Amino acid sequence: MTKHQNAPLRFPRRLEPGSDMWKEIAGLDLSQIQESSWVIENFLADRSTQLCYGAFGTSKTTALLKAAWSVSQGIPFLGMKTEQRAVLYLDYENPADVLKSYCLGLGINPSSPWLKIWDRAAEHRVPLPISKRLQRFIQRCKTDTGKYPWIIFDSWTSLEKEDENQGHKVSKVFREIRSLCDMGVTCTVIDHTPKASPNSQTAVGSYAKMTQMDTSHSFESVDEQTDWFNLSRSRKVYRVTSFLKRYAPKGVGTFSFEVEGEEDEKGRWRISSLERTNDQQEVKNLGVVEKMKSLIRYHPTLGKKAIATLAADKEHKIVKSRNVAYDLLEQGIAAKAWESVELGKSHKQVFRVLKGANSSLPGPKEIKIRKRRK
């Protein structure tokens, strides 16, 4: 036996409980950390930084004012559950008369003890995230209500007045906002897309905004309708594409809402309603499921591979590929849209649409499903 074979192992050595190796080094203590929760279901996470952005005129302020009112009263926002808490809306941009119009149209009572809208017409200047006045309010809110507030900043351009394309300046503002989140505050920043690229998938300026936010929500206009028999009314539909990157998989939280407006007897336009509407992607997904149900009903003896092949072929075009069809078949079983059964002595796996799930399905002729060749 050689000298090296008798030598003790140098790594890893046994670490004694009393070791001071980690002295002065902070560690993660799970027992001291609250689990994630939603202030607005699948939209606004507690103690997070949220970025809501879009082109000018995509109803960001309208939607966030409605959300602020809903949270302050503990009522659903566009069908999404809320957790009641005090809300402070800091508006650096909109004229007071515009805010009044929003409040009247949306049914918001700004004198509610749970909601305060601080605009630029107030006696004192609208505070920035580092304001001592703001920090004192936060502590009083926690003492009086038992919860930290939700603070909305409208908009980013008033928080960062220098060159927004410089990442270190963006990071400076985020450090200030994140310090509030570390205190327990939930923060939302409203922002815009670049003027030259209003349909951009990122906010204006540095990409650092997108990387440092806990969640981001892109607002876009998807439909606008005019009532030609009543030109004093309008209807617009907006889509909110949510990226809940730290809290939920991609695609969760995306929704659409419609805003209706009308002109009063003095020629002033006001919002008459803001409601959730069917999202285009939800409608598209529903159409795919309905076509798959019809395919299963028309071919009750086909196995998984054959059904998936038909769903992805050029004539049906229900899904893009056979692998996508496989996933859809499994998801349909989990969602109880159809079930998997064994057929005959060979125990071949086939599918059956469940009762109650096919009451409004289109028939085979309606979607032009071809017969299987013999």
User: Residue 309's domain is classified under what CATH number?
Assistant: 1.10.10
Q: What is the average pLDDT across 310-324?
A: 87
Q: Of 200, 218, 236, which marks where a domain is finished?
A: 218
Say if residue 110 is in the same domain as residue 185: yes
Burial 195-206 (b: 16+ CB within 10 A, else e): eeebebebbbbb
Determine if the pTM surpasses 0.85.
no
Say if residue 56 is in the same domain as residue 159: yes
In a domain, 95, yes or no: yes
Calculate what percentage of the chain has a pLDDT beyond 90: 53
Say if residue 202 is in the same domain as residue 308: no
> Of 28-32, 201-205, 282-286, where does the model show the most confidence?
28-32
Residue 280 pLDDT: 62
Phi, psi of 2 (to 5 degrees): -80, 170
State the chain's mean pLDDT as an integer: 85
Higher per-residue confidence, 316 vs 68: 68
Q: What is the helix (H) or strand (E) element at residue 340, kind and residue range?
A: strand 338-343
Bond into 272 cis (ω within 30): no
Higher per-residue confidence, 333 vs 3: 333
Burial class (CB in 10 A: 0-12, 13-18, 19+), 56: exposed
Q: 349 is in which domain, residue-wise? A: 282-353
Say if residue 202 is in the same domain as residue 294: no
In a domain, 271, yes or no: no
User: Residue 158's domain is classified under what CATH number?
Assistant: 3.40.50.300
In a domain, 365, yes or no: no
Tens of pLDDT, residues 345-365: 888 889 999 976 543 333 333
Q: Which residues pair with 342 in a beta bridge?
A: 349
Residue 360 pLDDT: 38
Say if residue 80 is in the same domain as residue 201: yes
Non-local CB neighbours of 197 within 8 Å, separated by 6+ positions: none
Residue 197 pLDDT: 74
Q: Of 162, 188, 218, which marks where a domain is finished?
A: 218
In a domain, 347, yes or no: yes
Tens of pLDDT, residues 105-129: 999 999 999 999 999 999 999 999 9
CA 330 centroid distance within chain = 26
Burial class (CB in 10 A: 0-12, 13-18, 19+), 173: buried
Cα distance between residue 196 and residue 78, in whole Å: 31
In a domain, 83, yes or no: yes
Q: Of 198, 218, 238, which marks where a domain is finished?
A: 218
Number of domains in the chain: 2
Confidence of residue 180 (pLDDT cuts 50, 70, 90): very high
Cα distance between residue 275 and residue 258, in whole Å: 6
In a domain, 340, yes or no: yes
Q: What is the average pLDDT across 280-284?
A: 62
* Stated length of the chain: 374
Pick from 89, 73, 93: nearest CA to 81: 73
Say if residue 205 is in the same domain as residue 70: yes
Least confident of 3-17, 78-92, 192-206: 3-17
Residue 203 pLDDT: 84
Residue pair 209/69 in contact (Cβ under 8 Å)? The answer is no
Higher per-residue confidence, 279 vs 364: 279
In a domain, 248, yes or no: no
Residue 229 pLDDT: 55
Residue 17 pLDDT: 82
Q: What is the average pLDDT across 37-53?
A: 96
Residue 361 pLDDT: 36
335-340 — which CB contacts under 8 Å span 24+ positions? 337/289, 337/293, 338/293, 338/296, 340/304
In a domain, 189, yes or no: yes
